[in-house]
Structure 1
Amino acid sequence: MPFQMFVPTKALFGQGQLNNLHAQALPGKKALIIVSNGKSVKVNGYLDRTEKELHLAGVETVLFDEVEANPLKPTVMRGGQAARDNACDFLVALGGGSCIDAAKAIAVVATNDGDLWDYISQGTGKGKPIANKPLPIVAITTTAGTGSETDMGGVITNEETNEKTPVKSPDLFPVLAVIDPELMATVPPKFTAYQGFDALFHNIEGYLSKKANLMSEMVALEAIKQISAYLPEAVHNGSNMTARERVAFGNYLGGIEMCLSGNMSEHSLEHALSAYHQELPHGAGLIMLSKAYFAFMIDHHACDDRFICMAQKMGIPDASEPADFLKALENLIEHCGVNELKMSDYGIQPDEFPKMAENAKNAMGMLFANDRIALSIDDCIAIFKAAYR
């Protein structure tokens, strides 16, 4: 089972690691700090602390605070222009996966002419090579969800075409990642759950993927074990730093997992949901789809032994059949208090499923190649329907 491993990001992991940022070898002297259009990093003091650390290191800073959940193409275009206008030589992404994903796209448009979609390879993207090296990125994650702090892709939404798809390049690996669970203590319970399940599904999909290998299996199973054991406590007692740290570790492993193996079409299907419904949190969409999606794989005996092994890691030590995985997943969803999620609550209607299935196949078609069972458009629609409430 051969594999290639390339994860060049230096990681500072653990409680209090943000305090060590000033002592690191930073990739420039003027940083564009990229944060969300919300208030959390400001009111919780994380922005002030980050600016202080950078200033101690002799770095001048400029703030870009426009990133929304499921970041949009116009936003990253403005971010790229802000980096140019202020002659910034590197980026600092402070926030969750949306901020880090946006930073990767901003890094590209800051140094390359034209539109971001010129450099997108999926869907309506023009697939042009990224001619000029993107700006370096320092990623300081305040959530445990995407693993984007240690991979080379950032997912962006094009509202004009309803496409949600990644910009990718080895040059988009952050040069430095700070994974400090103290910055995650203020994430509200439901978002802790959404983000934790996103991290869990990165590892589950990587373990089930056709691209799985000896290294990715080791990484994924440890992450699945850690997240399953500690996510409920992180949700219900966010100040428990042991739980926060273990979930953050599982999330960090998920980023590595995506470099070793790869997500499956569950992520493509969810990106189609939130491409049409911007307000849908990515992790919530994955939870909505998960039982129907994995039940389809189990019904078709995609890889029975792997589902049994995951069930054992997720709290059913005597699991002996693939359906035990669905029990373990349902238990975890219930224990995290997210078992009442409904597509209909976000305005999603069943008559949208055909266009969403087509969208998933076009905008994120590359992930279908990792499935052990080939999904047709009709199969995708059937999964959407089975997941719908």
Structure 2
Amino acid sequence: MSANLTQTVIAMDLVPFRFGPGATADVTVELERLGARRVLLVTDRHLRQHGLVEPVEAAILRAGAEVVVFDQVHIEPTDRSLRDAIAFAQRVQPDAYVSLGGGSTIDTAKAMNLFTSYPADLFDYINKPVGRGNPVPGPLKPHLALPTTAGTGSETTAVIALELTDRRLKTGISHRFIRPTMAIVDPLNTVTCPPMVTAFAGLDVLCHAIESYTAKPYHVRPRPDSPTERPAYIGSNPVADLWSAQAIRWGARYLRRAVYNPLDLEARTFMALASLTAGIGFGNAGVHIPHAMSYPIAGLVRDFFPPNYEVDEPLIPHGLAVVVGAPAGLRFTAPAWPERHAEVAEMLGIDTRGLPVRAAAEAVADALIQLMRDLGLPSGLAELGFTESDIPALVEGTLAQQRILVNSPRPVDERALRAIYREAMRYW
């Protein structure tokens, strides 16, 4: 890093997108434009029974391309599941990818594309300090991403999230070349999403947007020696703020409706928009403490089985793992940038008139707790099976996420994380 120099450049790589009911049909023309002839369709085996896979297969065939289907995506990608998926892709050698599913599916397709284009050991690209953090050598093959949940924003981001099974630790791979070539967001593909899947995904949207809006600003971060060394997450900035702020407003307004009335197409549409815009915002600015906490929370699960998920092993879905730490994490960061947190409170619909700025800032945590209660979520980490004795392991796993923690507007260390985790054990 350049000594005593801070960043002055806002760098935004924006994924082109097609949005709206019926957008799935655009797969055909986009594959024709790309000249694709052998397409690997990455999807979730459960989506076929909901009638979502066949229209995409048909759209690929109309483009004159051969379609090969991989439908063995793990519900939360692991090093083992990704190695199996990568081996499949290396046998197929497609010239384009289409992913249809939630964030796990889209991230799996990203990994298949990366390691087929530039074969390497998995740890070569995993972020430091867990992996070697090598840069991606060059552009990948075309990838059209079609989300079926309104949550992860993976269709717009430069990140692959995965769990290291033996270490019970979640980590990631990030580089701007990993972003899909295009996002095709059709709200109709989310209508069959069950209520709690909708809730957890939507809460991930809100946390993405809130964390990116409150992230340490780009202009106080060290300037890299070369533009090529600029991280995918550069910190909050005026451009990303536009996307993040609107995502917060839409999420606050429409998430409850989408959960309690799954056929509310207006709510589904605006939650899909919120997911897309939050993905653009945080994919540039980055997230911080709640997402750093989510990795060990998900990785250290013991016996929690989420409702509405077809799983045969314990699982803490990503959105739940994020939001369960968010109130405590954001209460910790509020004093560092109270004005920005107070703005978030207003976006969440809180009447902050007459409140001191510090009180308005801390109201963000209270609003998230109320939203968790309204949606019927667990009351904290204790209800997910954690105890005070787990805090050291949770803290250790969080401290390993330095690429995310560097975005926190307030420096966080082991002592601070211990206090945050104690608060997150039970909110009500």
Q: TM-score range by the shorter chain?
A: over 0.9
Q: Deviations over 1:352-388 (max 9, x none)?
A: 22122112212x2111111111111121122112111
Unaligned runs of 5+ in 2: 1-6, 217-234, 302-313
Q: Which secondary structure state, in structure 1, belongs to the residue aligned with residue 160 of structure 2? A: strand
Measured at CA, do residues 133 and 160 of structure 1 come closer, stay the same or move farther in structure 2, by a change above 3 Å? farther
Q: How far has the Cα of 1:322 moved from its partner?
A: 2.0
Aligned 8 A contact 1:136 1:172 in 2: no
Q: Which amino acid aligns with 2:246?
A: E
**What CA distance in whole angstroms lies between the structure 1 residues aligned with 2:344 and 2:136?**
39
Matches within 5 A, 1:115-126: 115-126=121-132
Query: After the TM superposition, which segments of 4 or more aligned residues of structure 1 sit over 4 Å from their partners?
Result: none
**What CA distance in whole angstroms lies between the structure 1 residues aligned with 2:23 and 2:121?**
36
Q: Normalising by structure 1, report the TM-score.
A: 0.93
Q: How far has the Cα of 1:191 moved from its partner?
A: 1.2
Aligned 8 A contact 1:91 1:103 in 2: yes
Partner of 1:313: 347
Q: Which secondary structure state, in structure 1, belongs to the residue aligned with residue 406 of structure 2? A: helix
Q: How far has the Cα of 1:239 moved from its partner?
A: 0.8
**What CA distance in whole angstroms lies between the structure 2 residues aligned with 1:55 and 1:164?**
37
Q: How far has the Cα of 1:138 moved from its partner?
A: 1.2
Partner of 2:27: 21
Q: Which amino acid aligns with 1:32?
A: L
Q: How far has the Cα of 1:309 moved from its partner?
A: 1.3
Partner of 2:324: 288
1:185 matches 2:191: yes
**What CA distance in whole angstroms lies between the structure 2 residues aligned with 1:178 and 1:69?**
21
Q: Deviations over 1:317-347 (max 9, x none)?
A: 3443223323332332233332x34434443
Matches within 5 A, 1:49-68: 49-68=55-74
Q: Which secondary structure state, in structure 1, belongs to the residue aligned with residue 24 of structure 2? A: helix
Q: Which amino acid aligns with 2:85?
A: G
**What CA distance in whole angstroms lies between the structure 1 residues aligned with 2:186 and 2:151?**
13
Q: Which secondary structure state, in structure 1, belongs to the residue aligned with residue 325 of structure 2? A: helix
Q: Deviations over 1:273-314 (max 9, x none)?
A: 11222611011112211221122223xx11111222111111
Partner of 2:42: 34
**What CA distance in whole angstroms lies between the structure 2 residues aligned with 1:74 and 1:272?**
18
Q: What value does the CA root-mean-square deviation take over the aligned residues?
A: 1.9
Farther-moved stretch of structure 1 (105-114 vs 216-225): 105-114
**What CA distance in whole angstroms lies between the structure 1 residues aligned with 2:403 and 2:264?**
38
Q: Which amino acid aligns with 1:223?
A: A
Q: Deviations over 1:105-128 (max 9, x none)?
A: 111221333321122132331233
Aligned residues: 383
Q: Which amino acid aligns with 1:331?
A: Q
Partner of 2:51: 45
Matches within 5 A, 1:253-272: 253-272=277-296
Farther-moved stretch of structure 1 (217-226 vs 316-325): 316-325
Partner of 1:351: 389
Measured at CA, do residues 169 and 136 of structure 1 come closer, stay the same or move farther in structure 2, by a change above 3 Å? farther
**What CA distance in whole angstroms lies between the structure 2 residues aligned with 1:47 and 1:97?**
16
**What CA distance in whole angstroms lies between the structure 2 residues aligned with 1:123 and 1:143?**
31
Aligned 8 A contact 2:290 2:323 in 1: no
Matches within 5 A, 1:141-290: 141-210=147-216, 211-277=235-301, 279-290=315-326
**What CA distance in whole angstroms lies between the structure 2 residues aligned with 1:28 and 1:192?**
33
Partner of 1:87: 93
Aligned 8 A contact 1:137 1:172 in 2: no
**What CA distance in whole angstroms lies between the structure 2 residues aligned with 1:127 and 1:308?**
36
Q: Which secondary structure state, in structure 2, belongs to the residue aligned with residue 171 of structure 1? A: helix
Q: How far has the Cα of 1:153 moved from its partner?
A: 1.0
Measured at CA, do residues 3 and 15 of structure 1 come closer, stay the same or move farther in structure 2, by a change above 3 Å? farther
1:378 matches 2:386: no
Q: Give me the identity figure in percent.
A: 27
Q: Deviations over 1:220-247 (max 9, x none)?
A: 1111111100111011111111111111
